[in-house]
Structure 1
Amino acid sequence: VCTGIAFALHAYTNEGDNILIQNPVYNPFRTVIEEANRTLVMQDLLGNEQEGYTIDFDALESAFKDDDIKVFLFCSPQNPTGRVWHRDELAKVVALCKQYDVLLFSDEIHRDLIMPGHEHIAIGNIDPDFDNYVLFASPSKTFNLAGFNHSFMVVPRADLREKLDTFLHAIHVTGGQPAGYIASEAAYTYGSEWVENVNQVIWDNYQLLKTTVQTALPQVQFSDLQGTYLAWLDLGAYVKNADLKEVVQDRARLGVNYGTTYWPTRPEDTHIRINLATKTEIIETAANNLVKAIQEWQ
Protein backbone atom coordinates (compact mmCIF):
# COMPACT_ATOMS: atom_id res chain seq x y z
CA VAL A 1 0.00 0.00 0.00
CA CYS A 2 2.82 2.42 0.78
CA THR A 3 4.24 1.72 -2.67
CA GLY A 4 0.84 2.54 -4.15
CA ILE A 5 0.68 5.77 -2.16
CA ALA A 6 4.14 6.69 -3.46
CA PHE A 7 3.04 5.98 -7.04
CA ALA A 8 -0.08 8.11 -6.57
CA LEU A 9 1.85 11.00 -5.04
CA HIS A 10 4.17 11.08 -8.04
CA ALA A 11 1.31 10.69 -10.52
CA TYR A 12 -1.00 13.35 -9.07
CA THR A 13 1.17 15.95 -7.31
CA ASN A 14 4.31 17.99 -7.84
CA GLU A 15 7.41 18.40 -5.73
CA GLY A 16 6.74 20.78 -2.87
CA ASP A 17 2.97 20.23 -2.83
CA ASN A 18 1.37 20.20 0.61
CA ILE A 19 0.16 16.79 1.81
CA LEU A 20 -1.82 16.55 5.06
CA ILE A 21 -1.79 13.75 7.65
CA GLN A 22 -3.25 13.46 11.15
CA ASN A 23 -1.17 12.22 14.10
CA PRO A 24 -0.87 9.74 15.67
CA VAL A 25 -0.67 7.74 12.47
CA TYR A 26 1.26 4.95 10.78
CA ASN A 27 4.76 6.40 10.44
CA PRO A 28 5.36 5.54 6.73
CA PHE A 29 2.69 8.16 5.99
CA ARG A 30 5.39 10.71 6.83
CA THR A 31 8.29 9.03 5.11
CA VAL A 32 6.43 8.31 1.85
CA ILE A 33 5.58 12.03 1.60
CA GLU A 34 9.05 13.26 2.51
CA GLU A 35 10.80 10.81 0.20
CA ALA A 36 8.61 12.05 -2.66
CA ASN A 37 9.87 15.59 -1.94
CA ARG A 38 6.39 16.75 -1.04
CA THR A 39 5.73 19.06 1.91
CA LEU A 40 4.40 17.32 5.00
CA VAL A 41 1.62 19.10 6.89
CA MET A 42 0.67 17.53 10.23
CA GLN A 43 -2.32 17.91 12.52
CA ASP A 44 -3.27 16.07 15.71
CA LEU A 45 -6.43 14.11 16.32
CA LEU A 46 -8.53 15.34 19.23
CA GLY A 47 -9.21 13.30 22.35
CA ASN A 48 -7.48 10.52 24.21
CA GLU A 49 -8.12 6.99 25.47
CA GLN A 50 -10.81 8.05 27.93
CA GLU A 51 -12.68 10.43 25.62
CA GLY A 52 -12.02 8.57 22.38
CA TYR A 53 -10.11 9.94 19.40
CA THR A 54 -11.87 12.22 16.95
CA ILE A 55 -11.03 14.38 13.95
CA ASP A 56 -10.51 18.09 14.53
CA PHE A 57 -12.77 19.25 11.70
CA ASP A 58 -12.19 22.94 12.40
CA ALA A 59 -8.44 22.45 11.99
CA LEU A 60 -9.00 20.27 8.94
CA GLU A 61 -11.11 22.91 7.22
CA SER A 62 -8.66 25.63 8.17
CA ALA A 63 -5.81 23.69 6.56
CA PHE A 64 -7.83 23.00 3.42
CA LYS A 65 -8.79 26.66 3.21
CA ASP A 66 -5.49 28.34 4.04
CA ASP A 67 -2.61 25.88 3.44
CA ASP A 68 -3.19 24.88 -0.18
CA ILE A 69 -3.49 21.18 0.66
CA LYS A 70 -3.32 19.05 -2.48
CA VAL A 71 -3.85 15.63 -0.88
CA PHE A 72 -5.30 14.49 2.43
CA LEU A 73 -3.76 11.12 3.33
CA PHE A 74 -6.40 9.57 5.57
CA CYS A 75 -6.22 6.37 7.64
CA SER A 76 -9.47 4.37 7.86
CA PRO A 77 -9.66 2.34 10.11
CA GLN A 78 -7.18 4.40 12.06
CA ASN A 79 -3.76 3.01 12.92
CA PRO A 80 -2.65 3.13 15.75
CA THR A 81 -5.70 4.31 17.74
CA GLY A 82 -8.02 1.59 16.43
CA ARG A 83 -10.83 4.02 15.54
CA VAL A 84 -13.40 2.91 12.99
CA TRP A 85 -14.83 6.14 11.64
CA HIS A 86 -18.61 6.63 11.70
CA ARG A 87 -20.58 7.53 8.60
CA ASP A 88 -21.14 11.10 9.78
CA GLU A 89 -17.40 11.59 10.31
CA LEU A 90 -16.60 10.23 6.86
CA ALA A 91 -19.32 12.40 5.37
CA LYS A 92 -17.67 15.50 6.87
CA VAL A 93 -14.30 14.47 5.45
CA VAL A 94 -15.82 13.97 2.00
CA ALA A 95 -17.76 17.24 2.15
CA LEU A 96 -14.63 19.22 3.01
CA CYS A 97 -12.62 17.54 0.26
CA LYS A 98 -15.39 18.42 -2.20
CA GLN A 99 -15.66 21.99 -0.99
CA TYR A 100 -11.93 22.71 -1.21
CA ASP A 101 -11.07 20.39 -4.12
CA VAL A 102 -8.65 18.25 -2.09
CA LEU A 103 -7.72 14.83 -3.46
CA LEU A 104 -8.45 12.21 -0.78
CA PHE A 105 -6.15 9.21 -0.34
CA SER A 106 -7.93 6.70 1.91
CA ASP A 107 -5.72 3.93 3.32
CA GLU A 108 -8.18 1.16 4.20
CA ILE A 109 -5.78 -1.75 4.61
CA HIS A 110 -7.37 -2.72 7.97
CA ARG A 111 -10.89 -2.63 6.53
CA ASP A 112 -11.61 -6.32 7.21
CA LEU A 113 -10.30 -6.32 10.78
CA ILE A 114 -13.32 -4.86 12.56
CA MET A 115 -14.32 -5.61 16.13
CA PRO A 116 -17.83 -6.44 17.44
CA GLY A 117 -20.34 -3.62 17.26
CA HIS A 118 -18.52 -1.65 14.57
CA GLU A 119 -18.76 -1.37 10.80
CA HIS A 120 -16.20 -0.16 8.30
CA ILE A 121 -17.60 2.02 5.52
CA ALA A 122 -15.49 2.43 2.40
CA ILE A 123 -14.92 6.03 1.41
CA GLY A 124 -16.59 5.43 -1.96
CA ASN A 125 -19.86 4.51 -0.22
CA ILE A 126 -20.38 7.90 1.42
CA ASP A 127 -21.42 10.22 -1.40
CA PRO A 128 -22.33 8.93 -4.89
CA ASP A 129 -21.29 12.29 -6.35
CA PHE A 130 -17.80 12.19 -4.86
CA ASP A 131 -15.10 10.59 -6.99
CA ASN A 132 -12.04 12.68 -6.15
CA TYR A 133 -10.39 9.92 -4.16
CA VAL A 134 -8.07 6.94 -4.34
CA LEU A 135 -8.73 4.02 -2.00
CA PHE A 136 -5.80 1.81 -1.04
CA ALA A 137 -6.16 -1.68 0.43
CA SER A 138 -4.62 -5.13 0.36
CA PRO A 139 -5.23 -8.71 1.47
CA SER A 140 -1.84 -8.62 3.19
CA LYS A 141 -2.99 -7.67 6.70
CA THR A 142 -6.23 -9.64 6.75
CA PHE A 143 -4.88 -12.88 5.33
CA ASN A 144 -1.17 -12.70 6.23
CA LEU A 145 -0.14 -12.43 2.58
CA ALA A 146 2.37 -9.59 2.87
CA GLY A 147 5.08 -11.72 1.28
CA PHE A 148 3.33 -11.47 -2.09
CA ASN A 149 3.75 -7.66 -2.10
CA HIS A 150 0.27 -7.16 -3.54
CA SER A 151 -2.23 -4.39 -2.93
CA PHE A 152 -4.95 -2.67 -4.89
CA MET A 153 -6.17 0.85 -5.59
CA VAL A 154 -9.72 1.96 -6.36
CA VAL A 155 -9.57 4.98 -8.70
CA PRO A 156 -13.08 5.94 -9.84
CA ARG A 157 -12.17 9.00 -11.90
CA ALA A 158 -11.11 8.19 -15.47
CA ASP A 159 -8.62 11.05 -15.70
CA LEU A 160 -6.94 9.96 -12.48
CA ARG A 161 -6.68 6.39 -13.76
CA GLU A 162 -5.11 7.67 -16.96
CA LYS A 163 -2.56 9.74 -15.08
CA LEU A 164 -1.67 6.78 -12.89
CA ASP A 165 -1.35 4.41 -15.86
CA THR A 166 0.87 6.90 -17.67
CA PHE A 167 3.17 7.19 -14.65
CA LEU A 168 3.34 3.42 -14.09
CA HIS A 169 4.15 2.71 -17.71
CA ALA A 170 6.87 5.34 -17.60
CA ILE A 171 8.62 3.47 -14.77
CA HIS A 172 7.89 0.06 -16.34
CA VAL A 173 5.46 -1.17 -13.70
CA THR A 174 2.87 -3.15 -15.64
CA GLY A 175 1.73 -5.79 -13.18
CA GLY A 176 2.47 -7.95 -10.18
CA GLN A 177 3.57 -11.53 -9.72
CA PRO A 178 1.00 -14.15 -10.79
CA ALA A 179 1.12 -15.97 -7.46
CA GLY A 180 0.01 -12.80 -5.71
CA TYR A 181 -3.05 -12.45 -7.93
CA ILE A 182 -3.99 -16.08 -7.30
CA ALA A 183 -3.48 -15.74 -3.53
CA SER A 184 -5.52 -12.54 -3.40
CA GLU A 185 -8.38 -14.02 -5.40
CA ALA A 186 -8.41 -17.14 -3.25
CA ALA A 187 -8.39 -15.12 -0.04
CA TYR A 188 -11.28 -12.88 -1.02
CA THR A 189 -13.27 -15.76 -2.52
CA TYR A 190 -12.86 -18.37 0.19
CA GLY A 191 -11.52 -16.50 3.22
CA SER A 192 -14.64 -15.40 5.10
CA GLU A 193 -14.23 -18.06 7.79
CA TRP A 194 -10.61 -17.02 8.28
CA VAL A 195 -11.65 -13.39 8.75
CA GLU A 196 -14.29 -14.30 11.32
CA ASN A 197 -11.85 -16.44 13.25
CA VAL A 198 -8.93 -14.02 13.16
CA ASN A 199 -11.14 -11.14 14.31
CA GLN A 200 -12.30 -13.24 17.24
CA VAL A 201 -8.69 -14.03 18.17
CA ILE A 202 -7.76 -10.34 18.00
CA TRP A 203 -10.75 -9.35 20.12
CA ASP A 204 -10.10 -12.04 22.73
CA ASN A 205 -6.43 -11.09 22.89
CA TYR A 206 -7.32 -7.43 23.35
CA GLN A 207 -9.68 -8.25 26.23
CA LEU A 208 -7.04 -10.47 27.85
CA LEU A 209 -4.31 -7.86 27.56
CA LYS A 210 -6.52 -5.03 28.80
CA THR A 211 -8.00 -6.97 31.72
CA THR A 212 -4.66 -8.35 32.88
CA VAL A 213 -2.86 -5.04 32.73
CA GLN A 214 -5.62 -2.83 34.16
CA THR A 215 -6.39 -5.23 37.01
CA ALA A 216 -2.85 -4.77 38.28
CA LEU A 217 -2.22 -1.28 36.90
CA PRO A 218 -5.58 0.51 36.72
CA GLN A 219 -4.15 3.80 35.48
CA VAL A 220 -2.88 2.33 32.23
CA GLN A 221 -5.17 3.77 29.56
CA PHE A 222 -6.29 1.63 26.60
CA SER A 223 -7.77 3.05 23.43
CA ASP A 224 -11.09 1.46 22.54
CA LEU A 225 -10.27 -1.20 19.95
CA GLN A 226 -12.81 -0.82 17.15
CA GLY A 227 -10.65 -2.02 14.27
CA THR A 228 -7.11 -3.14 13.29
CA TYR A 229 -5.13 -5.80 15.16
CA LEU A 230 -3.22 -3.30 17.30
CA ALA A 231 -3.58 -2.27 20.93
CA TRP A 232 -2.78 1.38 21.69
CA LEU A 233 -2.13 2.03 25.38
CA ASP A 234 -0.67 4.81 27.48
CA LEU A 235 1.75 3.89 30.28
CA GLY A 236 2.35 7.50 31.30
CA ALA A 237 0.81 7.13 34.76
CA TYR A 238 3.63 4.75 35.68
CA VAL A 239 6.54 5.27 33.27
CA LYS A 240 8.07 8.41 31.79
CA ASN A 241 8.98 8.60 28.11
CA ALA A 242 12.70 8.50 28.89
CA ASP A 243 12.28 5.18 30.74
CA LEU A 244 9.90 3.39 28.36
CA LYS A 245 12.49 1.32 26.52
CA GLU A 246 14.19 0.19 29.71
CA VAL A 247 10.89 -0.92 31.26
CA VAL A 248 9.14 -2.35 28.20
CA GLN A 249 12.03 -3.65 26.13
CA ASP A 250 14.78 -4.47 28.62
CA ARG A 251 12.72 -5.57 31.61
CA ALA A 252 9.44 -6.85 30.13
CA ARG A 253 11.27 -8.22 27.06
CA LEU A 254 8.61 -6.95 24.67
CA GLY A 255 9.19 -5.78 21.11
CA VAL A 256 6.64 -2.98 20.71
CA ASN A 257 6.28 0.24 18.78
CA TYR A 258 6.57 3.47 20.77
CA GLY A 259 4.13 6.35 20.60
CA THR A 260 6.61 8.92 19.35
CA THR A 261 6.95 6.85 16.17
CA TYR A 262 3.36 7.77 15.33
CA TRP A 263 3.12 11.09 17.18
CA PRO A 264 6.30 13.06 16.43
CA THR A 265 4.62 16.28 17.52
CA ARG A 266 4.63 14.87 21.08
CA PRO A 267 8.27 13.98 21.89
CA GLU A 268 7.39 12.99 25.48
CA ASP A 269 4.58 10.63 24.48
CA THR A 270 4.20 7.50 26.62
CA HIS A 271 2.05 5.25 24.40
CA ILE A 272 3.06 1.85 23.10
CA ARG A 273 1.48 -0.15 20.30
CA ILE A 274 1.18 -3.93 20.72
CA ASN A 275 0.44 -6.42 17.94
CA LEU A 276 -2.53 -8.59 18.96
CA ALA A 277 -2.47 -10.89 15.92
CA THR A 278 -0.71 -13.79 17.56
CA LYS A 279 -1.30 -16.75 19.83
CA THR A 280 -3.23 -16.04 23.01
CA GLU A 281 -0.48 -17.53 25.17
CA ILE A 282 1.97 -14.98 23.75
CA ILE A 283 -0.36 -12.12 24.68
CA GLU A 284 -0.79 -13.62 28.14
CA THR A 285 2.98 -13.75 28.61
CA ALA A 286 3.35 -10.21 27.26
CA ALA A 287 0.69 -8.86 29.63
CA ASN A 288 2.22 -10.57 32.67
CA ASN A 289 5.72 -9.44 31.72
CA LEU A 290 4.56 -5.85 31.32
CA VAL A 291 2.75 -5.84 34.66
CA LYS A 292 5.73 -7.32 36.48
CA ALA A 293 8.21 -4.95 34.89
CA ILE A 294 6.17 -1.85 35.73
CA GLN A 295 5.48 -3.01 39.29
CA GLU A 296 9.17 -3.66 39.88
CA TRP A 297 10.01 -0.29 38.34
CA GLN A 298 7.61 1.40 40.73
Structure 2
Amino acid sequence: MSLYYREQKHICGKDYATAGYMEVDLYPVTPKQHKASRRAKKKEACTLAQQTYNDNRSKRYHVQLVNANFGKGDFSWTGTYDDDHLPAPGDTKRADMDWTNYIKRVYRWCDKNGVERPKWVAATEYTTVMADGTICGRHHHHAIIQHTEGLTRDVLEELWSDKNGNSIGLTRGEHLTVDHGSVEGLVKYINKNKRCARSWRQSRGLEKPKTPPPNDTKWSRKKLEEASTVYIDDAAFWEQKYPGYTLNRVETKVSNAGQRHTVVILRRAECWHGRGNIYRPRRERNAAK
Protein backbone atom coordinates (compact mmCIF):
# COMPACT_ATOMS: atom_id res chain seq x y z
CA MET A 1 0.00 0.00 0.00
CA SER A 2 1.32 3.41 -0.97
CA LEU A 3 1.78 5.74 2.00
CA TYR A 4 1.93 9.49 2.44
CA TYR A 5 4.41 11.08 4.81
CA ARG A 6 2.87 13.69 7.05
CA GLU A 7 4.46 16.79 8.51
CA GLN A 8 2.49 17.96 11.56
CA LYS A 9 3.66 21.11 13.32
CA HIS A 10 2.90 21.92 16.96
CA ILE A 11 3.41 25.67 17.34
CA CYS A 12 3.89 26.85 20.91
CA GLY A 13 3.09 30.53 20.59
CA LYS A 14 0.96 32.94 18.57
CA ASP A 15 2.05 31.74 15.12
CA TYR A 16 4.93 30.19 13.18
CA ALA A 17 6.66 33.53 12.66
CA THR A 18 6.82 34.47 16.35
CA ALA A 19 6.55 31.27 18.43
CA GLY A 20 9.57 30.58 20.60
CA TYR A 21 9.22 26.79 20.43
CA MET A 22 7.95 24.27 17.90
CA GLU A 23 7.80 20.50 17.54
CA VAL A 24 7.34 18.81 14.16
CA ASP A 25 6.12 15.23 13.79
CA LEU A 26 7.06 13.34 10.62
CA TYR A 27 5.34 9.98 10.11
CA PRO A 28 3.52 7.87 7.49
CA VAL A 29 -0.25 7.97 6.96
CA THR A 30 -2.55 5.86 4.82
CA PRO A 31 -4.39 7.20 1.76
CA LYS A 32 -7.58 7.15 3.85
CA GLN A 33 -5.96 9.35 6.51
CA HIS A 34 -4.61 11.62 3.78
CA LYS A 35 -8.08 12.07 2.27
CA ALA A 36 -9.78 12.64 5.62
CA SER A 37 -11.63 15.87 6.23
CA ARG A 38 -9.90 18.91 7.67
CA ARG A 39 -11.82 18.35 10.93
CA ALA A 40 -10.65 14.72 11.17
CA LYS A 41 -7.04 15.75 10.55
CA LYS A 42 -7.33 18.43 13.22
CA LYS A 43 -8.64 15.86 15.70
CA GLU A 44 -5.77 13.50 14.91
CA ALA A 45 -3.25 16.33 15.31
CA CYS A 46 -4.63 17.25 18.73
CA THR A 47 -4.45 13.61 19.80
CA LEU A 48 -0.88 13.34 18.55
CA ALA A 49 0.06 16.45 20.51
CA GLN A 50 -0.72 14.58 23.73
CA GLN A 51 1.18 11.42 22.86
CA THR A 52 4.76 10.35 23.29
CA TYR A 53 6.64 7.23 22.35
CA ASN A 54 6.46 5.64 25.80
CA ASP A 55 3.85 5.02 28.47
CA ASN A 56 3.69 8.70 29.54
CA ARG A 57 1.10 10.00 27.08
CA SER A 58 0.90 13.53 28.43
CA LYS A 59 4.59 14.48 28.71
CA ARG A 60 4.92 16.01 25.25
CA TYR A 61 1.72 18.01 25.59
CA HIS A 62 2.85 19.38 28.96
CA VAL A 63 6.21 20.38 27.46
CA GLN A 64 4.42 22.15 24.61
CA LEU A 65 1.97 23.83 26.98
CA VAL A 66 4.77 25.16 29.19
CA ASN A 67 6.75 26.42 26.20
CA ALA A 68 3.65 28.18 24.82
CA ASN A 69 3.06 30.11 28.04
CA PHE A 70 6.29 30.49 30.01
CA GLY A 71 9.75 31.75 29.26
CA LYS A 72 13.12 32.75 30.60
CA GLY A 73 12.71 34.57 33.91
CA ASP A 74 9.56 32.80 35.05
CA PHE A 75 9.76 30.69 38.20
CA SER A 76 10.24 27.00 38.83
CA TRP A 77 8.82 26.43 42.33
CA THR A 78 8.79 23.46 44.73
CA GLY A 79 6.89 23.24 48.02
CA THR A 80 7.43 20.46 50.59
CA TYR A 81 6.07 19.73 54.08
CA ASP A 82 7.64 19.48 57.49
CA ASP A 83 6.51 16.58 59.68
CA ASP A 84 4.01 18.70 61.62
CA HIS A 85 2.12 19.76 58.49
CA LEU A 86 2.48 16.68 56.27
CA PRO A 87 -0.94 15.35 55.18
CA ALA A 88 -1.58 11.70 56.02
CA PRO A 89 -0.65 9.09 53.40
CA GLY A 90 -3.44 8.89 50.84
CA ASP A 91 -4.98 12.22 51.90
CA THR A 92 -4.94 13.73 48.42
CA LYS A 93 -7.78 16.16 49.17
CA ARG A 94 -5.76 17.86 51.90
CA ALA A 95 -2.68 18.08 49.67
CA ASP A 96 -4.75 19.54 46.83
CA MET A 97 -6.36 22.05 49.20
CA ASP A 98 -2.93 23.17 50.40
CA TRP A 99 -2.00 24.08 46.82
CA THR A 100 -5.35 25.80 46.28
CA ASN A 101 -4.89 27.86 49.44
CA TYR A 102 -1.33 28.70 48.44
CA ILE A 103 -2.20 30.05 45.02
CA LYS A 104 -5.09 32.02 46.56
CA ARG A 105 -2.59 33.66 48.93
CA VAL A 106 -0.42 34.53 45.94
CA TYR A 107 -3.43 36.09 44.21
CA ARG A 108 -4.39 38.08 47.31
CA TRP A 109 -0.83 39.36 47.66
CA CYS A 110 -0.85 40.40 44.00
CA ASP A 111 -4.18 42.18 44.33
CA LYS A 112 -3.03 44.00 47.47
CA ASN A 113 0.22 45.15 45.88
CA GLY A 114 -1.09 46.04 42.44
CA VAL A 115 0.68 43.13 40.77
CA GLU A 116 -0.78 41.16 37.87
CA ARG A 117 -1.88 37.68 38.89
CA PRO A 118 0.47 35.07 37.40
CA LYS A 119 -0.33 32.16 35.14
CA TRP A 120 0.82 28.79 36.42
CA VAL A 121 0.93 25.05 35.97
CA ALA A 122 1.36 22.72 38.95
CA ALA A 123 1.77 19.04 39.71
CA THR A 124 1.22 17.50 43.13
CA GLU A 125 2.91 14.19 43.92
CA TYR A 126 1.14 12.30 46.67
CA THR A 127 2.23 10.01 49.45
CA THR A 128 0.67 6.84 48.07
CA VAL A 129 -0.30 3.67 49.94
CA MET A 130 0.49 0.73 47.66
CA ALA A 131 -1.59 -2.45 47.42
CA ASP A 132 0.84 -4.30 49.67
CA GLY A 133 0.62 -1.57 52.32
CA THR A 134 3.98 0.04 51.64
CA ILE A 135 4.24 3.82 51.52
CA CYS A 136 5.51 5.45 48.33
CA GLY A 137 6.80 9.01 48.21
CA ARG A 138 5.98 12.08 50.28
CA HIS A 139 3.41 14.76 49.46
CA HIS A 140 4.96 17.74 47.68
CA HIS A 141 4.19 20.24 44.93
CA HIS A 142 5.99 21.42 41.79
CA ALA A 143 4.91 24.47 39.80
CA ILE A 144 5.96 26.82 37.04
CA ILE A 145 4.73 30.31 37.87
CA GLN A 146 4.79 33.34 35.61
CA HIS A 147 6.99 36.20 36.73
CA THR A 148 4.78 39.27 36.58
CA GLU A 149 6.30 42.67 37.37
CA GLY A 150 6.72 42.96 41.14
CA LEU A 151 6.32 39.26 41.96
CA THR A 152 9.56 37.83 43.38
CA ARG A 153 10.71 34.42 44.45
CA ASP A 154 11.00 35.72 48.03
CA VAL A 155 7.25 36.34 47.97
CA LEU A 156 6.53 32.93 46.49
CA GLU A 157 8.64 31.22 49.14
CA GLU A 158 7.23 33.19 52.09
CA LEU A 159 3.60 32.54 51.12
CA TRP A 160 4.02 28.76 51.49
CA SER A 161 2.47 28.92 54.96
CA ASP A 162 -0.63 28.19 57.00
CA LYS A 163 -3.45 30.67 57.64
CA ASN A 164 -1.44 32.20 60.50
CA GLY A 165 1.56 32.86 58.30
CA ASN A 166 3.68 30.05 59.74
CA SER A 167 5.83 28.07 57.32
CA ILE A 168 4.53 24.56 56.60
CA GLY A 169 7.72 23.25 55.02
CA LEU A 170 10.67 23.99 52.81
CA THR A 171 10.11 25.78 49.53
CA ARG A 172 12.39 26.85 46.74
CA GLY A 173 11.88 29.14 43.77
CA GLU A 174 14.34 29.30 40.89
CA HIS A 175 14.43 31.20 37.62
CA LEU A 176 13.31 29.12 34.68
CA THR A 177 15.70 28.59 31.79
CA VAL A 178 14.45 27.41 28.40
CA ASP A 179 17.55 26.25 26.56
CA HIS A 180 18.89 22.77 25.79
CA GLY A 181 15.81 20.85 26.85
CA SER A 182 15.62 22.31 30.36
CA VAL A 183 11.83 22.72 30.26
CA GLU A 184 11.40 19.15 29.06
CA GLY A 185 13.77 18.01 31.78
CA LEU A 186 11.72 19.84 34.40
CA VAL A 187 8.43 18.31 33.20
CA LYS A 188 10.09 14.88 33.11
CA TYR A 189 11.33 15.40 36.66
CA ILE A 190 7.85 16.38 37.83
CA ASN A 191 6.53 13.13 36.35
CA LYS A 192 9.51 11.11 37.54
CA ASN A 193 8.01 8.57 39.95
CA LYS A 194 5.56 6.32 38.11
CA ARG A 195 4.62 4.39 41.26
CA CYS A 196 3.18 7.40 43.09
CA ALA A 197 -0.10 9.07 42.19
CA ARG A 198 -0.01 12.69 41.07
CA SER A 199 -2.26 15.37 39.62
CA TRP A 200 -1.64 18.13 37.09
CA ARG A 201 -3.44 21.48 37.45
CA GLN A 202 -3.20 24.77 35.61
CA SER A 203 -4.53 28.30 35.72
CA ARG A 204 -7.25 29.49 33.40
CA GLY A 205 -6.51 31.14 30.12
CA LEU A 206 -3.31 29.33 29.17
CA GLU A 207 -2.55 29.41 25.47
CA LYS A 208 -2.80 25.93 23.99
CA PRO A 209 -0.23 24.64 21.49
CA LYS A 210 -1.48 25.21 17.94
CA THR A 211 -1.77 22.33 15.47
CA PRO A 212 -2.22 23.75 11.95
CA PRO A 213 -3.41 21.53 9.08
CA PRO A 214 -0.76 18.93 8.20
CA ASN A 215 1.30 18.75 5.02
CA ASP A 216 1.22 15.29 3.42
CA THR A 217 3.23 16.12 0.29
CA LYS A 218 6.44 17.77 1.53
CA TRP A 219 8.14 14.52 2.51
CA SER A 220 8.64 11.14 0.85
CA ARG A 221 9.78 7.90 2.46
CA LYS A 222 13.25 8.31 0.97
CA LYS A 223 13.57 11.92 2.14
CA LEU A 224 12.36 11.11 5.65
CA GLU A 225 14.67 8.10 5.95
CA GLU A 226 17.65 10.16 4.80
CA ALA A 227 16.80 13.10 7.07
CA SER A 228 16.31 10.81 10.08
CA THR A 229 19.63 9.02 9.64
CA VAL A 230 22.19 10.92 7.58
CA TYR A 231 21.06 14.41 8.68
CA ILE A 232 19.66 13.65 12.12
CA ASP A 233 22.25 15.85 13.88
CA ASP A 234 22.76 18.34 11.03
CA ALA A 235 21.48 21.65 12.42
CA ALA A 236 21.95 23.47 9.10
CA PHE A 237 19.79 20.91 7.30
CA TRP A 238 16.84 21.27 9.69
CA GLU A 239 17.17 25.03 10.09
CA GLN A 240 16.92 25.36 6.32
CA LYS A 241 13.73 23.30 6.43
CA TYR A 242 12.26 25.52 9.16
CA PRO A 243 13.61 29.07 8.70
CA GLY A 244 13.73 31.27 11.77
CA TYR A 245 14.26 28.37 14.17
CA THR A 246 17.35 26.77 15.63
CA LEU A 247 17.60 23.02 16.13
CA ASN A 248 17.37 21.63 19.64
CA ARG A 249 17.43 17.96 18.68
CA VAL A 250 15.81 15.26 16.55
CA GLU A 251 14.30 12.04 17.92
CA THR A 252 13.35 9.09 15.73
CA LYS A 253 11.88 5.63 16.26
CA VAL A 254 11.02 2.72 14.02
CA SER A 255 7.96 0.65 14.93
CA ASN A 256 7.77 -3.13 14.86
CA ALA A 257 6.03 -2.74 11.50
CA GLY A 258 9.04 -0.87 10.15
CA GLN A 259 7.39 2.57 10.08
CA ARG A 260 9.52 5.52 11.10
CA HIS A 261 8.27 8.37 13.31
CA THR A 262 10.55 11.37 13.71
CA VAL A 263 10.13 14.40 15.95
CA VAL A 264 12.06 17.61 15.29
CA ILE A 265 12.37 19.98 18.26
CA LEU A 266 13.20 23.61 17.49
CA ARG A 267 13.55 26.93 19.29
CA ARG A 268 13.65 30.58 18.31
CA ALA A 269 16.42 31.93 20.53
CA GLU A 270 15.56 35.59 20.07
CA CYS A 271 12.12 35.00 21.65
CA TRP A 272 13.54 34.12 25.06
CA HIS A 273 12.69 36.87 27.48
CA GLY A 274 12.60 37.89 31.08
CA ARG A 275 9.81 39.69 32.85
CA GLY A 276 10.50 42.72 34.95
CA ASN A 277 12.92 43.03 37.82
CA ILE A 278 13.44 39.39 38.83
CA TYR A 279 16.02 40.26 41.42
CA ARG A 280 14.10 42.91 43.35
CA PRO A 281 15.56 42.67 46.87
CA ARG A 282 13.41 41.62 49.83
CA ARG A 283 14.10 44.90 51.65
CA GLU A 284 12.67 46.89 48.73
CA ARG A 285 9.54 44.76 48.79
CA ASN A 286 9.13 45.25 52.54
CA ALA A 287 9.63 49.00 52.17
CA ALA A 288 6.88 49.10 49.55
CA LYS A 289 4.29 47.65 51.93
Q: TM-score, normalised by structure 2?
A: 0.26
Larger strand share, 1 or 2: 2
| Larger helix fraction of residues | 1
Question: Considering only CA atoms, is the larger Rg found in Structure 1 or Structure 2?
Answer: 2
Higher relative contact order (CA 8 A, sep 6+): 2
